[in-house]
């Protein structure tokens, strides 16, 4: 970590928003899966718990704890999908950050759902991206060598009306 001033909420959003947009655009180019696996459908109705995450191992716990920290509710099937697509903790955090950003902005397909579901993840990532997918995007979220995704809190994904007004006044 550098001694330089870390980006404020507005600056973080100016980094994270186009970063998420690039990931979503790249994900749209992935080939479509054949069908929604019936075995997963029932798990898309049940909220993920810490016990479920423990059963999925280390990456399951990383995904669950990051989602919990960001107040992003997941189904068991969504938690499975994130861990399945990830080969390391950094990828897990990237997927959870993308999902939180889209969920907060209400641009995740089916955003009115109370929890992020496997079906939404499959809509976003039509086939599981390989490890190189997120590796290509890793540096896009950095600010002077700092991982901005590690600076994001649960309330950092949308500006309050007051924050938006103050930002508009600065830009005017």
Residue 50 lies inside a defined structural domain of this protein: yes
CA distance 157 to 9: 8
87's tokens: 């080969």
For the chain, what is the domain count?
A: 1
Residue 3 lies inside a defined structural domain of this protein: no
**3-class secondary-structure state, position 142:** strand
Contact 152, 70 (CB under 8 A): yes
CA distance 19 to 14: 9
Instruction: Note down pLDDT in tens along the chain; length 172 residues.
Output: 444 677 889 999 999 999 999 999 999 898 877 655 667 777 888 999 999 999 999 999 999 999 999 999 999 999 999 998 899 999 999 999 999 999 888 876 666 667 898 888 888 888 888 888 888 999 999 998 899 999 999 999 988 888 888 888 888 7
Contact 83, 92 (CB under 8 A): yes
Residue 167 lies inside a defined structural domain of this protein: yes
This prediction has a pTM of 0.88
Q: Which domain, by its residues, includes 110?
A: 9-171
Residue 1 lies inside a defined structural domain of this protein: no
């Amino acid at each position: 970590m550098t001694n330089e001033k870390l980006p404020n909420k507005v600056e973080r959003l100016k980094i994270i928003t186009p970063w998420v947009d690039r990931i979503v655009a790249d994900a749209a180019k992935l080939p479509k899966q054949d069908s929604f696996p019936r075995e997963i459908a029932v798990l898309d109705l049940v909220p993920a718990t810490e016990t479920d995450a423990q059963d999925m191992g280390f990456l399951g716990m990383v995904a669950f704890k990051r989602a919990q920290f960001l107040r992003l509710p997941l189904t068991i099937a969504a938690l499975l999908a994130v861990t399945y697509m990830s080969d390391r903790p950094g990828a897990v955090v990237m997927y959870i950050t993308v999902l939180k950003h889209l969920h907060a902005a209400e641009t995740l397909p089916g955003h009115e759902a109370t929890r992020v579901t496997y079906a939404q993840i499959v809509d976003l990532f039509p086939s599981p991206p390989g490890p190189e997918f997120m590796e290509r995007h890793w540096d896009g979220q950095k600010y002077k060598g700092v991982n901005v995704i590690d600076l994001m809190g649960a309330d950092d994904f949308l500006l309050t009306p007051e924050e938006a007004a103050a930002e508009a006044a600065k830009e005017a």
